[in-house]
Structure 1
Amino acid sequence: MRIVVLGGGESGFGAAYLAKKKGMEVFLSDKGEIRESYKQLLMENGIDFEEGMHTEDKILNADWIVKSPGIPKKADIIFKANQKGIRLSSEIEFASEFTNAKIIAITGSNGKTTTTSLIYHILKNDGLNVGLGGNIGKSFAKQVADESFDYYVLEVSSFQLDDIQNFRPYISMLLNLSQDHLDQYNYNYEEYALAKFRIAENQENDNFFIYNKDDEMSMNLLEKLAIKAKMLPFTMKEKVSEGAYATEDRIFVKLQEEFSMKIKDLSLVGKHNVANSLAASIAGKILKISNESIRNSLMTFQAVEHRLEIVADIEGVKYINDSKATNVNACYFALESMKTPTVWIVGGVDKGNDYAEIEDLVKKKVKAIICLGVDNEKIIEFFRDKKEFIYDTSSMEEAVKISKSISEKGDTVLLSPCCASFDLFKNYEDRGKKFKEEVLKNEQVIIEN
C-alpha cells in the first residue's frame, strides 16, 4: 500500500513513521518548509519526502492520503485527490486503525486542552497505562507505532474530524459549541457544529457519548441526530438522574454509584472549569475509577500552560496568562472567573468577533483595557463609550509596562486576547511566553503553583 502524508509537522511525521513501521511505501509532502528536527527524523527513518511543493504525480498515485489538519479542505491538491477517489484521512483516523486501545476523544469549541489534560491526569493518577495525543502533546500515530498503551486520551479538532471514516472512540465528549473557524465552514454555524458531532458518528451502543445539556446548539442538533452510543449529560443548571451536575457548592456524578465533592476543593477555578470537571469525572466513572482517586486527581491537577495560567503575584497584583483564549467565547469564561478588578490585555487578528457577547462582563469586571495588536481600531471603537481607560499598544513589552503602571494591589492583569496571534507572534504559545517573560522581567515575584 502506498501512503502519502501531506504536512511535515508533528502529526505528519508521526503518520509517516507509523506507515513505514507497518511496512508501507511512504512519501511525505509539505508545501512549506519542514522544521529541521522533523527533516532529520524523516532521513533517519528512511522516509522519502519533499518540501516547498506538492508534486502531483507523487501524491495522486496514493492508495491512502493522510492529511494535516492545517491544510484547508479547499486546497487544490485535496480537490484533485477527492476527484480521483483516493481515501483521505486525518492522523487520528489513520492511527486508530492500528491500535486496539480504548480511546477517549474530546472535542468542543473551548476547554478541550484543559479537559483532555485533566482526564489524562485522572487515568494516569489511577495507575492506568495511558497515552496523551491528538491536538496536544506527542503524535498519536508515533505513540501507536512505539508504545503499547491500553488507553489514549485525545484532544480532537473539527478539522481532524472532517477527515475520519471509521474513527470510533470508546468514550467521546463534546464540551460546548460556539462560533469559531466559520471561515472554513462556509460561515455556517450549524455546518461547523455538525463537524464536531462527527466524533460520535461511528460509535455503537457499547460506547459512551458525554454532552453538555446547557449548550443550546448541541441540544438542537441532538434532536436531529441518531447517536447510538449511551448518552450521558453534564449540566450546571439542573439535577440529572444519570450523568453529572453541579449545585452552588458541590459537583455530583450519578453513574451506578454516586460521586460528589465540594467545588472549592477543585484545583481549577471558574464556572467553565466546573463544567470541564463534571465531564472529566463522568469519563472517570465510566472507566470504574474510584471516587477517592477521582477526588484526588481533581484536587491535584495543574492548569495547562496559556489557559488561565497564574504567572505571578507582584506587589499584590496577580498576572494571568490566558493566551489560548483566541475567540470571544473563551475570553467570556476567563472574564467570568475574575474575582478582582481586572486590567484586560486584548487584541490580535480578529476572526469576525462580536464583542457584544462580553460587553456586560467588561463593564462589571474590567477597570482598564490594553489593546495589543497591529490594528486595534475595532476593539477601541466598540469599547470607547463603555470604558474610560483604553490603551493602544503594538508590543508585549509596551502592554505589560502599562499594565504594571496602572494596576494596584488587589488587581488582576489578564491576558485573554479574544483574537488569533499571527499579527505580532508566531502562535498563541509564543504570545503567552512573551507575556510571561515581560511580567517576570526584573521582578522579585511570588510564583504560584
Structure 2
Amino acid sequence: MTTVIPKELIHKGDGLQVVVGLGQSGLSVARYLTEQGYRVAVTDKQSAPTLAAQLPAAVDIRQFGAIDTELLLQATRIIISPGIPLTTEAVVAARQANIPVVSDVQLFCEACEVPIVAITGSNAKSTVTTLVGQMAADAGINVGVGGNIGVPALNLLANNDMALAVLELSSFQLETVTNLGAQVATVLNMSPDHLDRHGDMLGYHQAKHRIFQGAQSVVINREDALTRPLVADNLPRISTGIHAPDKGQYGLITDPDGQVYLARGTERLLSADKLLVKGRHNLLNAQAALALGELAGLPLERMLMTLQHFTGLEHRCQYVAQVADIDYFNDSKGTNIGSTMAAIEGLGAVYAPKDGKLLLILGGQGKGQQFGELVPLINQYVSQVLLIGEDSTQIEAHLSAAQLDDDVVRHQCQTLEGAFATIKDVTASSLSQVKAVLLSPACASFDQYASYSARGEHFTQLVAQLATDV
C-alpha cells in the first residue's frame, strides 16, 4: 500500500517534508528528517524502489510510480535527489508555487558544526576527496568523507566526534545548495559534461561555482580560468599548476636532468617518482590535495607521507596488469572528454619517451559531447582507437571531422569482448607500437552496463582472461 494517509489530509501548515527520489541520498534524508521529528513523505518515479523497504515506518506517505505533483504542492519543503532534474514537471510546478527545493547537502551544511572541505570538478574529484580524507585521518583527525563519493553527507552526522568533513560534490548536488560556507572550497577543473542536464557550459559552470558561496578560502587551478571564483580577492587562496609556482603556491619544478618535483614556491617537496600513481594529472591531484589540506590546517609532513602510500582509486586510471609486455589501465570512471584527455596525456607522456603508443578504448553514451576535442592528444599519443557502445559511430565521425591522423587506426568493436579480440590481433603484429592499453571511454556506461564500475570490472576480467591465453 503506497499511501497510508490520504493526501487531502496533509496541509502546508503541518510542515510536510517531501523527499523526491529514493536512492541512497533520498533514504538518508528520509531517515534524518524523521529523526528530527518532521512529517516526511517520499515520491519516486519507480513503481517499486529497491530501497523502499528501508524507509522508517514513520514515513507513511509513499507515492511511487511517478513524481507526484499534488504531493509536492502540499510540501513545506522539498528535498530533491541529485538524479532528479529541476526541469521535472512536478518540481517546476512546486518552484513556481515558491516551495523551497533543496538537496541533502543543504541539510548537512545547516546541521554540520565542523569545518567542511568542499571539492568539485569535472574530473578527479573522487581521487582528491579520498586523498584529503586520508591525509586528515593519517594526521590523527576524526574525519568524515562523503557526498557524491558514495556515503550520503547526512550519514556523516552520526559520527559525534567528527572534527572535519570532506565532501565530494557534483553539479547536480550543487545546483540546489545555497551558502555552503566551506572552510575551503575548490573547483578542480572544468570541461564539458552533463550538458544534457545543464543545457550549456554556462549552466554547468554556474552550478559548479555554487560551491564557493560563503567559502572562507579557495583553491584554484592556474591552468583553468573557469576554476576561479568570482569572489572577493581578499579571501585566502592557493593555486596549483603544471609550471613552477610562485611563492606560497603549488606547482612542478623540473631539474635539468628531467627529474620532476612537487613544489611549494621554490621548495621541492617530493619527487614524482616517489608517487605510486603516475601521470601529470595525478601530480595535479596531489597538489590540489596539498593545497586543500594546508588551508584546512593539516600538517605538511603528514600529507607528504600519505601521498607516498596512495595507490589511486579503482576505475580511475588504475593499473591492472602487464600482459605480454603491454600495460593495461582501467579508467572506466573516465565518463567525459576532459577525464579522458587527462588520462591520455598523463599516460601518453610516460610511454612516449620509450617510443611507445597507447591503444585507446572509447565509447558508450556520449551525452552530447564533441569528441573532436580528443584528436590533438590522440594524434600525439595513440596509435589505435577501439570504439564500443551506443554512440561509437558518431564518435568516429567526430574524430574524422577533427582531422584524426591517417596513421591512427580506428576499429568499430561494438563491445569490450570485441575490443579484446581486436587487441589480440593488433598486439600480435611485430610492427605494433602499443605499449599500453587504456580503457577511458569518455562516455557514460548505461547503454551496456549498470555502472562505470561494472564496465571497469568487466575490463579487468578480460585482462585476466587474456593473461591466461598468452
TM-score higher than 0.5 here? yes
Secondary structure of the 1:391 match is strand
Distance apart, 1:40 and its partner CA: 2.3
TM-score (norm 2): 0.86
Map of 2:290 onto structure 1: 281
Map of 2:192 onto structure 1: 179
Map of 2:8 onto structure 1: none
Distance apart, 1:372 and its partner CA: 0.7
Distance apart, 1:196 and its partner CA: 1.3
Distance apart, 1:236 and its partner CA: 1.8
User: Aligned equivalents of 1:308 and 1:315: distance in 2?
Assistant: 20
Question: Would you say 1:199 and 2:243 are equivalent positions?
Answer: no
What amino acid is the match of 2:410? Answer: I
Q: Which of 293, 299, 309 is matched with 1:300 structurally?
A: 309
Q: Which of 394, 398, 407 is matched with 2:418 structurally?
A: 398
What amino acid is the match of 1:23? Answer: G
Distance apart, 1:115 and its partner CA: 0.8
Distance apart, 1:112 and its partner CA: 0.8
Question: Would you say 1:260 and 2:272 are equivalent positions?
Answer: no
What amino acid is the match of 1:194? Answer: Q
Task: Decide whether the 8 Å contact of 2:335 with 2:441 is kept in 1.
Answer: yes
Q: Which of 434, 438, 442 is matched with 2:458 structurally?
A: 434
Distance apart, 1:80 and its partner CA: 1.1
Per-residue CA deviations over 1:68-99 (Å, capped at 9, x if unaligned) read 11111211111111112111111111122122
- Supply the RMSD in Å over aligned alpha carbons: 2.4
Question: Would you say 1:421 and 2:445 are equivalent positions?
Answer: yes
Structure 1 moving runs of 4+ over 6 Å:
none
Equivalent residues in 2 for 1:231-270, closer than 5 Å: 231-248=237-254, 249-253=260-264, 260-270=269-279
Task: Decide whether the 8 Å contact of 2:413 with 2:422 is kept in 1.
Answer: no
User: Aligned equivalents of 2:253 and 2:67: distance in 1?
Assistant: 55
Q: 1:34 to 1:163 in 2, by over 3 A?
A: farther
Equivalent residues in 2 for 1:327-346, closer than 5 Å: 327-338=336-347, 339=351, 340-346=356-362
Q: 1:292 to 1:217 in 2, by over 3 A?
A: closer
Task: Decide whether the 8 Å contact of 2:79 with 2:102 is kept in 1.
Answer: yes
Distance apart, 1:332 and its partner CA: 0.8
Equivalent residues in 2 for 1:32-47, closer than 5 Å: 32-33=46-47, 35-36=49-50, 38-43=51-56
User: Aligned equivalents of 1:33 and 1:113: distance in 2?
Assistant: 32
Q: 1:265 to 1:308 in 2, by over 3 A?
A: same
Map of 2:427 onto structure 1: 407
Task: Decide whether the 8 Å contact of 1:21 with 1:145 is kept in 2.
Answer: no
User: Aligned equivalents of 1:359 and 1:209: distance in 2?
Assistant: 33
What amino acid is the match of 1:366? Answer: V
Secondary structure of the 2:55 match is helix
Runs (5+) with no aligned partner, structure 2: 1-14, 255-259
Secondary structure of the 1:363 match is helix
| Structure whose alpha-carbon radius of gyration is higher | 2
Q: 1:53 to 1:412 in 2, by over 3 A?
A: same
User: Aligned equivalents of 1:150 and 1:329: distance in 2?
Assistant: 34
Task: Decide whether the 8 Å contact of 1:344 with 1:413 is kept in 2.
Answer: yes
User: Aligned equivalents of 1:391 and 1:47: distance in 2?
Assistant: 54
TM-score (norm 1): 0.90
User: Aligned equivalents of 2:37 and 2:436: distance in 1?
Assistant: 55
Secondary structure of the 1:337 match is helix
Q: How many residues align?
A: 436
Task: Decide whether the 8 Å contact of 1:214 with 1:237 is kept in 2.
Answer: no
Question: Would you say 1:21 and 2:35 are equivalent positions?
Answer: yes
Question: Would you say 1:326 and 2:339 are equivalent positions?
Answer: no
User: Aligned equivalents of 1:20 and 1:77: distance in 2?
Assistant: 23
Per-residue CA deviations over 1:110-132 (Å, capped at 9, x if unaligned) read 11111111111111122210111
Question: Would you say 1:357 and 2:373 are equivalent positions?
Answer: yes
User: Aligned equivalents of 1:125 and 1:229: distance in 2?
Assistant: 28
Question: Would you say 1:85 and 2:98 are equivalent positions?
Answer: yes
User: Aligned equivalents of 1:310 and 1:34: distance in 2?
Assistant: 39
Q: 1:376 to 1:117 in 2, by over 3 A?
A: same
Q: Which of 130, 143, 148 is matched with 2:156 structurally?
A: 143
Distance apart, 1:309 and its partner CA: 0.9
Q: 1:443 to 1:245 in 2, by over 3 A?
A: closer
Runs (5+) with no aligned partner, structure 1: none
What amino acid is the match of 1:155? Answer: E
